[in-house]
Amino acid sequence: MATVWTLASTKGGCGKTTLTAIIAGEIVRNGGTVVLIDTDKNTPLMRWAAKNRLPDAVTVLDATDKSGRELTDALQRLKDSRSFVLIDTEGTRNMLTGLAVQQSSVVVIPMKWSELDVAEALKIQDFVAVASQARGRPIPSVIVPSQVDAVIESKAQRAVKKALADTGATWIDPPVLTKSPYVAMFTEGRLLHDLDTTTNSQVLQNAKDNAHAVVKAIGKAAVEFAHASATG
């Protein structure tokens, strides 16, 4: 059975598409194959793939049809495969995001440390909880701080963190750091590990280390969530 992770937040620009590409890179690095489903009408993943530099282990499908038919058909076709499926969604609340969430093993919610992003992340998390209830099976949702400066933590950022903690929400650590290779993936049309070697090697290595730690932490949080739901 395919493992389906959906990247969702109604907040535009919080890092969904970037994190989709980061996770895809980690899956391929571990010897896996991954199907990326692009449900965003701006088709950022389709444009990435159109550069024809992604390895064979990555397939990108266009499922932007608003009716949800393409998405449902794609998931149905992949149901019995052993692939990892990543669904990238648009930064608005729409039916495709709802459909994707309902059929997910895990919902990944990227979020910048800003009041606006946090509010939208909590809304999506509530939506996932409702979808879980409707499905009669828990759907883990994992909040992933994104575009975080490794060095400076502002006073405003600390205040937002405290406010989120006060709601009882949890998030993974480390965050997705702000790194130029994450932008270069899209300009070059490649996965992180296949970036041109002319990129500063230390900068690239730091991004690879961050990507590895982030994806590991998401997997761990999802397992803990499932365990807590089963026992609690």
Ligand X SMILES: Nc1ncnc2c1ncn2[C@@H]1O[C@H](COP(=O)(O)OP(=O)(O)OP(=O)(O)O)[C@@H](O)[C@H]1O
Q: Which residues bind ligand X (CB under 6 A)?
A: 12-18, 40, 90-91, 146-147, 176, 178-179, 182-183
Please state the closest distance from residue 229 (CB atom) to ligand X, in A.
Answer: 27
Token pair 């409707």 in the structure block, residue: 134
Q: Give 140 or 175: the residue with its C-beta nearer to ligand X.
A: 175
Contact 7, 110 (CB under 8 A): yes
Q: Which does 45 bind (CB under 5 to 8 A by kind): Mg ion, ligand X, none?
A: none
Task: Select from 83, 111, 229 the least CA-distant residue to 167.
Answer: 111
Q: Which does 39 bind (CB under 5 to 8 A by kind): ligand X, Mg ion, none?
A: none
SS3 (DSSP) at 144: strand
Q: Which does 12 bind (CB under 5 to 8 A by kind): ligand X, Mg ion, none?
A: ligand X
Please state the closest distance from residue 23 (CB atom) to ligand X, in A.
Answer: 12
Q: Which does 176 bind (CB under 5 to 8 A by kind): ligand X, Mg ion, none?
A: ligand X
- Which tokens is 51 given? 């550069």
* Half-sphere exposure for 112 (CA within 13 Å, toward CB): 16
Please state the closest distance from residue 181 (CB atom) to ligand X, in A.
Answer: 8
Please state the closest distance from residue 210 (CB atom) to ligand X, in A.
Answer: 8
Q: Which does 178 bind (CB under 5 to 8 A by kind): ligand X, Mg ion, none?
A: ligand X
Footprint of Mg ion on residues 14-73 (CB under 5 A)? 16-17
Q: Is 182 exposed, middle or buried (0-12, 13-18, 19+ CB in 10 A)?
A: buried
For residue 26, give the amino acid letter: E
- For ligand X, the nearest residue by Cβ is 91
Token pair 């919080």 in the structure block, residue: 14
Q: Give 39 or 103: the residue with its C-beta nearer to Mg ion.
A: 39
Q: Are strands 3-7 and 176-177 parallel, antiparallel or unpaired?
A: unpaired
Please state the closest distance from residue 163 (CB atom) to Mg ion, in A.
Answer: 25
Nearest 5°: CA angle at 9, between 7 and 12?
110
Q: What is the dihedral angle through the alpha carbons of 119, 125, 128, 132, rounded to the nearest 10 degrees? A: -140
Please state the closest distance from residue 24 (CB atom) to ligand X, in A.
Answer: 13
- Which tokens is 135 given? 């499905």
Stretch that binds Mg ion, among 11-19, 124-132, 170-178, 182-190 (CB under 5 A): 11-19
Which residues would be at the binding site for Mg ion (CB under 5 A)? 16-17
